[in-house]
Amino acid sequence: MEAVEVELIYDVARLEERLIFKALRRVGLEAALTNVKSVPIGWESPGVSLSIIRPVSMHRALYAASIREAVGVPTVNRSSTILFSGDKVLTLSMLRRHGVRFPESYVAFTVEAAEKALEKIGTPAVDKPPVGSWGRLVSLIRDEETLRSLVEHREMLPSQVARTHIIQRYVDGGRTDYRVLVLGGEILGAMERSAREGEWRSNVARGGRIRGVKPDPEMMELAAKAAEILGGEFVAVDLLKDDGGYMVNEVNGVPEFKGFMEATQVDVPLRLAEHVKTVLRR
Amino acid sequence: MEAVEVELIYDVARLEERLIFKALRRVGLEAALTNVKSVPIGWESPGVSLSIIRPVSMHRALYAASIREAVGVPTVNRSSTILFSGDKVLTLSMLRRHGVRFPESYVAFTVEAAEKALEKIGTPAVDKPPVGSWGRLVSLIRDEETLRSLVEHREMLPSQVARTHIIQRYVDGGRTDYRVLVLGGEILGAMERSAREGEWRSNVARGGRIRGVKPDPEMMELAAKAAEILGGEFVAVDLLKDDGGYMVNEVNGVPEFKGFMEATQVDVPLRLAEHVKTVLRR
Amino acid sequence: MEAVEVELIYDVARLEERLIFKALRRVGLEAALTNVKSVPIGWESPGVSLSIIRPVSMHRALYAASIREAVGVPTVNRSSTILFSGDKVLTLSMLRRHGVRFPESYVAFTVEAAEKALEKIGTPAVDKPPVGSWGRLVSLIRDEETLRSLVEHREMLPSQVARTHIIQRYVDGGRTDYRVLVLGGEILGAMERSAREGEWRSNVARGGRIRGVKPDPEMMELAAKAAEILGGEFVAVDLLKDDGGYMVNEVNGVPEFKGFMEATQVDVPLRLAEHVKTVLRR
Amino acid sequence: MEAVEVELIYDVARLEERLIFKALRRVGLEAALTNVKSVPIGWESPGVSLSIIRPVSMHRALYAASIREAVGVPTVNRSSTILFSGDKVLTLSMLRRHGVRFPESYVAFTVEAAEKALEKIGTPAVDKPPVGSWGRLVSLIRDEETLRSLVEHREMLPSQVARTHIIQRYVDGGRTDYRVLVLGGEILGAMERSAREGEWRSNVARGGRIRGVKPDPEMMELAAKAAEILGGEFVAVDLLKDDGGYMVNEVNGVPEFKGFMEATQVDVPLRLAEHVKTVLRR
């Protein structure tokens, strides 16, 4: 029996995970599945040469990557990428440190601080927690009363992360953003996402419409730079655009790509599998 | 007006923070206070030369450190230290990567995985969440039924971190541990903590008794190594001991030291202030 | 078009709800469905003669019944039954008031009070929150340390109900209980539930095994009395047995009955539909 | 030693509880304190003739009253008053059943249902959870996006009560309301509460300003009726006013009265103590 080369770590088997698994086999790699909902993970050798990290939950992904790396198994993405993209405060710090533009933002932990942040930013503003996907709890703030309501609501949550507010300038044209997929430093393609009627968030999970676009050089350069800063082998970079050009909004270290494949016709899992094979054969 | 040199960032003004602030002035440093509960923090220069990070909440501390560093202000501790010590899964990964011994541990996200972890570890075992202080939610597991109850309880919490279980071998003699304070690579002292009657956790917040001890060479070497691995300027390293010698249990990146001062008679805030002064004068 | 006579209010369409709906039509009643997950409920006439209350969530059931009653629509069960059976502290108060025996119990809101309750009850004891189904968070307490862990865990929950502890004497032979279904004062049947290996809770959701039993007179009398005390038209009464005979453990005001039908061969939905028809024709 | 006549049950000793305790002694009653944070409560005789129920937490108050009543001890207020006033859905049902006017309201459990409720009510609307004090989580809804944000936030809470939305017409002039204190069917007085600048909620905890007012006959009649419907011996009734006259907004079954005393100069604790004495001497 040949040794397993690649381990696919997951918690929910979405279409993405099933396609990646098939693609790994298609390019001739021995692949095994690890469902972190059924087995515990310890700091011991899993007997694989590389782990692809795909849990939907950011923290499950982070912990799985961290434990594999600790015993010498390279991971895609590495734990630091998952962490620094998974927590939006840490993302912004990394971007700022490397001079990448993002919408003016403040971090607030209390009603009092949030109100002061809103004074600096002005309305409308965006309020979001550091961790979360699909636009969840991302709110548009039109007035101080709404902000106060939201802060009071978050106060009820037992996690300090969830009680943290990123108060951010709302970018004109913010109902549209651009998602660029980056793999091993290369741009796989780009799509535009537009919010549906009656909703300002462009997330597909919120009914956003998508269409493939040809990435322009500025878009490509910025996405590649964001990926590089975060050490991301395989990441989705979300860009916003205003009069000053593109800005990075978020980076996703365990990217979903079903919609992206439909919009761009790029065979993402195959490209990923080929990339992993190349990395392994180096 | 002279420029402020040192900023003390806090959320709750414990005795520790008040002593540090006084000590900074005592050694001739200009110091200012930033209460992250009243002001928002943005990615903009705070006009200080160094920030001492003291929020009680790990995530408030992490975010404050991360934002200051992003604009070029050095912090004690740096954000990576706060993060890697504040999350016990990440701590263990760092220790494992550098060959430091810790009690056999597994990470589990579900009842099913937790039961399998307990089978591997055996009873009694310890169950703890990755983030938390003062022994909170750290539980002794004597049988599978208790473990199942605890997992069910944690399932109710909306944060994935809180729903994560570190299942760990219970170390014989675990009712006693050793806390070593490390500052700039030097050992400030050590104390022994023993659980009170009717409680197995040695935390002072749980009624644990403390007494100063003279650190032995093995203890000193291990604590210094743990601090170095985590990049910690000023950390508390908690050690356990079994037949194989000392092990690292946890590291604290925003250490409390009131009890430590009483037990060891070391003037911790003065030593910290002097260290900060030296760093600034380099 | 004939007027709708019966409204079936639900949130999740389990087998039970589908069977009740069919049975209503089978006995010739005009029936309509109201899914409280898709429509709001107001204090206005729904244009029906009776509402059968079937939401899985106790509070959704309570609120739906309360609002329908307020506009003059009779409900099965009535809101007070759902409430007094849905909250176990209120259940025990009703039972005590009418002299019905139940296991010795104390209510505690803090670690301190819970520890004192455990001293009075002794170990092993049972700890459960007032509201919840399927044995969720119901824990067996073998020692004070476990109790303390559980209380600390519940402290994290933002609801005072969830932070309330019913500390109860563990009944010998508690791995077996009896579920009796009562409809309009009549006993529909009984079944015995036994906990699976490695689990002390007999709930079917926890793997408990069930078998139909012929209810004995004491069982029938006690179940009918509990139903009457709570004003329950259609309830499941859970009984425990010790040397002193049967005791009431819990009453369920929105009873599941899939397992009961299998075990007893009683056509519960048909009996319920016929009962509702009789009530309407009175 | 004389038998204790009155028990004051509390969890936090606010000024109110301290004043009631003194007043009981002032009128010559033997009084004892029971702190439900330090002792468990069981279904056994406490050896008192009456219990005054004062826990701040609604559920602690409810459970304490329910358990005392079950063993034959009368309580002020009785458990049903605490329950039906403590849960705003149940309050509205009681009011509706007795033909008392309140702002048009719908109950919604999901985003979908909440959006439909908002369509019926129109904007601005008020969104509040069934249980809570001091205006907490009570939100003004100016548009559908804000409502959706709030529903998403509440979805994160593990309690179904907290995930329930009362969507209510916003009453013009809603920044002012009237609080009437009712004791044993008599009106003790009334005060007007006005929201501070930049806040629409009139709660004192939100900075609302208060002043004593002479209750007019309509106000007195409505408050007394609301108290009677809920069986309240000692309650605060909050009224709103629009072109159609007064409406009942909320009823409080464990009323705070510090501000009320300042605004009206009524010695509430003395009146309460005298009332209790009269009840006991009957």
The pLDDT, as a whole number, for residue A1 is 38
Strand partners, B105: B168
Q: Do D156 and B156 touch (CB under 8 A)?
A: no
Residue B180 sits in the same domain as residue B260: yes
| Alpha carbon B280 to chain centroid, angstroms | 24
Angle between helical axes of C88-97 and C79-86 (0-180°, round to 10): 100
Do the domain assignments include residue D231? yes
Burial C97-120 (b: 16+ CB within 10 A, else e): eeebebbbbbbbbbbebbbbbbee
Kindly report the backbone phi and psi dihedral angles of residue C113, in degrees, each rounded to the nearest multiple of 5, phi listed first. Answer: -70, -35
State both tokens at B155: 């399932």
Q: How far apart are CA D10 and CA D57, in angstroms?
A: 9
Contact B227/A at CB under 8 A: no
> Over the stretch B163-180, which tens digit does the pLDDT of each residue have?
999 999 999 766 899 999
B158 part of contact set with chain D, CB < 8 Å = yes
- Asked whether residue D186 falls in the same domain as residue D247, the answer is yes
- pTM recorded for the entire structure: 0.93
CB D202 within 8 A of CB D193: yes
Cis before D77 (ω within 30): yes
- Are D207 and D224 part of one and the same domain? yes
User: Could you say which DSSP state residue B206 is in?
Assistant: G
Q: Which two tokens stand for residue B66?
A: 């991360």
Q: How far is CA A186 from the centre of its chain?
A: 17
Contact B37, B64 (CB under 8 A): no
Domain hosting B65: range is: 6-84+273-281
The answer to whether C63 contacts chain D (CB < 8 Å) is yes
Model ipTM value: 0.96
Report DSSP state, residue B204. Answer: G
Q: Where does a domain end: A140, A169, A198?
A: A169
Domain membership flag for residue A96: no
Q: How far apart are CA B138 and CA B165, in angstroms?
A: 10
A156 and C157 within 8 Å at the Cβ level: the answer is: no
Helices and strands (H and E) in chain A: how many: 9, 14
Residue D1 forms part of a structural domain: no
User: Distance, in angstroms, between C213 CA and closest chain D CA?
Assistant: 32
Q: Tell me if chain C has a CB within 8 Å of the CB of D265.
A: no
HSE-CB for B238 with a 13 A CA cutoff: 27
Q: What residues have CB less than 8 Å from A24, skipping those under 6 apart? A: A6, A8, A31, A52, A273, A276
Around Cβ A93, how many Cβ atoms within 10 Å? 24
DSSP-based three-state secondary structure for C35? strand
Same domain, D234 and D204: yes
Same domain flag for D24 and D55: yes
D167 to chain C, any CB pair closer than 8 A? The answer is yes
pLDDT < 70: residue spans in chain D: 1-3, 174
Q: Within an 8 Å CB–CB cutoff, is residue A69 touching chain D?
A: no
For C164, nearest residue in chain D (alpha carbons): D60
Question: Quick one: tokens of B202?
Answer: 């040695």
**What whole-number distance in Å separates Cα of residue C268 and Cα of residue C20?**
8
Neighbouring subunits of B (3+ Cβ pairs under 8 A) = A, C, D
How near does any CA of chain C get to the CA of A10, in Å? 26
Say yes or no: B161 and B241 in one domain. no
Q: How many domains does chain A have?
A: 3
Percent of chain A residues past pLDDT 90, beyond the cut: 87
Cis peptide before B124 (omega within 30 of 0): yes
Q: What is the CATH number of the domain that holds C129?
A: 3.30.1490.20
Predicted confidence (pLDDT) per residue in A33-85, tens digit: 999 999 999 999 999 999 999 999 999 999 999 999 999 999 999 999 999 99
- Average pLDDT score, chain A: 94
Instruction: Note whether B70 contacts A: Cβ–Cβ < 8 A.
Output: yes
Are residues A77 and A124 located together in one domain of the fold?
no
Q: Is the CB of residue A196 less than 8 Å away from at least one CB of chain D?
A: no
**Tokens for D110?**
């999901």
Is pLDDT above 50 for B1? no
> Which among D117, D145, D169 is the end of a domain?
D169
CATH number, position A18: 3.40.50.20
Q: Is any Cβ of chain D less than 8 angstroms from the Cβ of C84?
A: no
Partners of B146 on chain C (C-beta within 8 Å) are: 139-140, 142, 146, 149
E strand or H helix at C19? helix C15-26
Name the amino acid, one letter, at B203.
N
- How would DSSP label each residue in chain D? -PPP-EEEEESS--HHHHHHHHHHHHTT--EEEEETTTS-EESS--S-SEEEE--SSHHHHHHHHHHHHHTT--EES-HHHHHHHHSHHHHHHHHHHTT-----EEEESSHHHHHHHHHHH-SSEEEE-SS-STTTT-EEE-SHHHHHHHHHHHHTSS-TTTT-EEEEEPPTTTTEEEEEEEETTEEEEEEEEEPPTT-----GGGT-EEEEEPPPHHHHHHHHHHHHHTT-SEEEEEEEEETTEEEEEEEESS---HHHHHHH---HHHHHHHHHHHHHH-
Q: B205 lies in a domain? A: yes
Looking at residue D174, its pLDDT comes to 67
Residue C73's closest chain D neighbor by CA? D97
Which chain C residue lies closest to A160 (C-alpha atoms)?
C156
CB atoms within 10 A of CB B230: 26
CB–CB contact B37 A66 (8 Å): no
Residue of B15, D162, A68, D78 lying closest to C90 (CA atoms): D78
Residue B35: cis peptide before it, omega within 30 degrees of 0: no
B257 and B191 assigned to the same domain: yes
Q: Percentage of chain D with pLDDT > 70? A: 98
Sequence length of chain B is: 282
- State the Cα–Cα distance between residues A141 and A122, nearest whole angstrom: 9
CA distance D159 to chain B (A): 9
CA distance D110 to chain C (A): 6
Partners of residue D38 in chain C, C-beta under 8 Å: 110, 112-113, 116
Would strands B165-169 and B6-10 be described as parallel, antiparallel, or unpaired?
Answer: unpaired
More confident residue, B156 or C187: C187
* Ordered per-residue pLDDT tens for chain C, 282 residues: 346 799 999 999 999 999 999 999 999 999 999 999 999 999 999 999 999 999 999 999 999 999 999 999 999 999 999 999 999 999 999 999 999 999 999 999 999 999 999 999 999 999 999 998 888 899 999 999 999 999 999 998 888 999 999 999 999 776 899 999 999 999 999 999 999 888 888 888 888 899 999 999 999 999 999 999 999 999 999 999 999 999 999 999 999 999 999 999 999 999 999 999 999 988
In a domain? residue B95: no
Q: Which of D235, D258, D224, D185 is nearest to D78 (CA)?
A: D235
Pick the last residue of a domain from B115, B144, B169.
B169
Q: pLDDT above 70 covers what percent of chain B?
A: 98
CA gap C86, C202 in Å, rounded: 19
- What does the H/E/C string look like for A203-245? CHHHCCEEEEECCCHHHHHHHHHHHHHCCCCEEEEEEEEECCE
Q: Is residue A97 part of a domain?
A: no
Check if C160 contacts A (Cβ < 8 Å). no
CB neighbours (10 Å) of residue B99?
8
Q: Measured between CA atoms, how close is B259 to chain D, in angstroms?
A: 27
Q: Does B111 touch chain C (CB under 8 A)?
A: no
Is position B94 within any domain?
Answer: no
Phi-psi region of B13 (alpha: psi -120 to 50; beta: other; left: phi over 0): beta
B264 and B206 within one domain = yes
**CATH number of the domain that A249 lies in?**
3.30.470.20
Number of CB pairs, chain B paired with chain D, less than 8 A apart = 5
D109 and D150, same domain (yes or no): yes
Examine the domain organization and report whether D192 and D237 are in the same domain. Answer: yes
> Chain-wide mean pLDDT for chain B?
94
Closest CA of chain C from A58, distance in Å = 22
Q: Which residues of D245-265 are buried (b: 16+ CB within 10 A; e: fewer)?
A: ebbbbbbbbbbbbebbbebbe
The answer to whether A142 contacts D142, with C-beta atoms less than 8 Å apart, is yes
Radius of gyration of chain D (CA): 19
The pLDDT value recorded for residue B174 is: 67
Residues in chain C closer than 8 A to A157 (CB atoms): 158
- Do C221 and C188 contact (CB within 8 A), yes or no? no
- On whether both D90 and D158 belong to a single domain, the answer is no
How confident is the model over A76-106, as pLDDT tens digits? 999 999 999 999 999 999 999 999 999 999 9
